[in-house]
Structure 1
């Protein structure tokens, strides 16, 4: 299930990844500063997509009942 904790972990993971890239690759700091807001804005829909990927509507989770007539 999609939970707030999962979304926060995803956002923090992306933020840490950007921060590490900023420190480790100083030659790309301007590029990282330019694309970081785009990645952080895209993080929310991506986290929702991956968090809700396995969720199904209530009707599809039920096993079909067979009538023996």
Structure 2
């Protein structure tokens, strides 16, 4: 009867408070490389990449055509 509130004697039941490391998203913003590293969007920085895309498109269409003939 003297221990009606074990939650107070054992605060370890709330590891979220003692261990904020459970939220690495805040401590480690590197998890969002899309913001720090805009290079992940080469389509914007390197418009020259759009040129080979057209060639790839033609190649893909040809490959599809060959598959249809087969």
TM-score after normalising by structure 2? 0.32
Larger Rg: 2
TM-score after normalising by structure 1? 0.32
Q: Which has the higher contact order (CA 8 A, sep 6+)?
A: 1
